[in-house]
Amino acid sequence: MSDTPHFLQIKGLRDGLLITLADAPWETVSQALLAHIGERQSFFQGARLALDVGQQALKVIDLADLRDRLSDQGVSLWAVLSESPTTQNAAQLLGLATRLFRPRLQEFEPAPSSMADETALWLHRTLRSGVRVESPGHVVIWGDVNPGAEVVAAGHILVWGRLRGSVHAGAQGDRNAMIAALEFSPMQARIANQEVVISDPKPHPGPKVIAFRDDRLTVDDWQAT
């Protein structure tokens, strides 16, 4: 690796490569990356690549294009790391990982006393099978959560639609977190470190809210308060 362009930093991981891209215009860094890989075909052939794009806000089309071009060169892109929510979202939509290792469940950490920042991730679409959404705050979904989709939030999860996938509210241990949905028939639902037990396999009709009450998780009708 004598003349790695200054836009790229390459590191070996246990099961592939991690390339960190400099904070330069996307056009420039992505071209530099492809050119670099093109020059060293034999080294990169068949590589599993994770890409750290830093602050770049990238759209699905940017990532899809890069992935296809990498794939043309025999490199498979499996993860995109970024600090930008836009990029993380795009990567998740394409089924790419957004972190290198799954975080350990932090269930035994002291629970934060208040909700994280009171910010919410707003998603106006249906989450289909295979999509995983994670947020350090609350999540509001205007659409359905289909079976096979997962939502993990440190705060509340509100689904203005049918909840049929898996959800985990208060994922960092906050037992004040709640789950609410217009139709509640999830594959799995958890708040903090406790599973919601669904005794009746048929969907409960009507909007529901799920919260801890006296140390027990309860499923109640969701009513105006």
Cα gap 215→205, rounded to integer Å: 25
Question: Which candidate, 186, 187, 192, 193, places its Cα nearest to that of 208?
Answer: 186
Q: Which one among 74, 103, 205, 206 touches another protein, defined by CB under 8 A?
A: 74
Q: Does the footprint of another protein cover residue 130 (CB under 8 A)?
A: yes
What part of residues 159-178 is at the interface with another protein (CB under 8 A)?
164
Closer to another protein by CB, 103 or 130: give it: 130
Q: Does the footprint of another protein cover residue 16 (CB under 8 A)?
A: no
Cα gap 42→38, rounded to integer Å: 9
Q: Does the footprint of another protein cover residue 105 (CB under 8 A)?
A: no
Closer to another protein by CB, 138 or 164: give it: 164
Q: Does the footprint of another protein cover residue 71 (CB under 8 A)?
A: yes
**Structural contact between residues 150 and 136, judged by C-beta atoms closer than 8 angstroms:** no
What part of residues 107-126 is at the interface with another protein (CB under 8 A)?
126
Cα gap 10→47, rounded to integer Å: 12
Q: Which one among 4, 129, 188, 218 touches another protein, defined by CB under 8 A?
A: 129
Handedness of CA 111, 89, 130, 165 (dihedral sign): positive
Q: Which one among 39, 68, 195, 221 touches another protein, defined by CB under 8 A?
A: 68
Hey, which bits of 149-193 come out as E strands? 150-153, 157-163, 166-169, 179-184, 188-191
Q: Does the footprint of another protein cover residue 85 (CB under 8 A)?
A: no
What count of other Cβ atoms lies within 10 Å of the Cβ of residue 165? 26
Two structure tokens written together for 74: 């025999």
Q: Which one among 32, 80, 121, 131 touches another protein, defined by CB under 8 A?
A: 131
Minimum Å distance from CB 131 to another protein? 6
Q: Which residues bind another protein (CB under 8 A)?
A: 60-61, 64, 68, 71-72, 74, 90, 93-95, 126-131, 144, 146-148, 164
